[in-house]
Structure 1
């Protein structure tokens, strides 16, 4: 049984006239006993996720 599940998770926002897709259609399943690390460049959506 998964402890955390996302399905087509999206988080978009506007910055001026630009649409920023911080998180776009993310599917994730974390099961008990698994260890995950979220890595990426600054501004890639890690905190938003």
Structure 2
């Protein structure tokens, strides 16, 4: 998504503060997706 694109841009610019901020937000987004997928699988399994 947009956060990943911003992370790529931050890496391109070689801006450590920008990279750190975007990497953290992208990590949190991915972690939340994993939680949602695990919950969905648990509900399907019954």
Q: How would you bin the TM-score normalised by the shorter chain?
A: under 0.3
The structure that is strand-richer by fraction is: 1
Higher relative contact order, structure no. (Cα contacts within 8 Å, ≥ 6 residues apart):
1
Tell me the TM-score normalized by structure 1.
0.22
Tell me the TM-score normalized by structure 2.
0.22
The structure that is helix-richer by fraction is: 2
